[in-house]
């Protein structure tokens, strides 16, 4: 995927999240995640992506409003 493709995809995801609203955002992200995991060639590839995302979240937690 080119940088331009990634930017287009990220922008579309941001718009979709805005359209469905905060309450449905987790559902959209879960559906998208499952769809993308299903496209992986094997469980090892999917588990690697899950572990990468988990590690980043634990390393760089988001700081929401107090």
pLDDT in tens, 38-55: 999 999 999 999 999 999
What is the model's pTM?
A: 0.79
Question: In the block, which residue shows the tokens 């992506």?
Answer: 49
Crossing angle for the helix pair 25-38 and 43-59, to the nearest 10 degrees = 140
SS3 2: coil
Please report the pLDDT score of residue 54 as a whole number.
95
Compute the C-alpha angle 31/34/37, nearest 5°.
150
Confidence of residue 62 (pLDDT cuts 50, 70, 90): confident
Taking the C-alpha atoms of residue 56 and residue 18, their distance in angstroms, rounded to an integer, is 24
Helix (H) or strand (E) holding 43: helix 43-59
């Amino acid at each position: 995927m080119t940088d331009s493709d990634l930017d287009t995809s990220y922008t579309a995801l941001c718009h979709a999240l805005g359209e469905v609203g905060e309450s449905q955002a987790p559902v959209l992200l879960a559906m998208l995640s499952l769809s993308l995991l299903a496209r992986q060639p094997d469980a090892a590839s999917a588990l690697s992506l899950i572990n990468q995302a988990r590690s980043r979240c634990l390393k760089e937690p988001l700081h929401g409003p107090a």
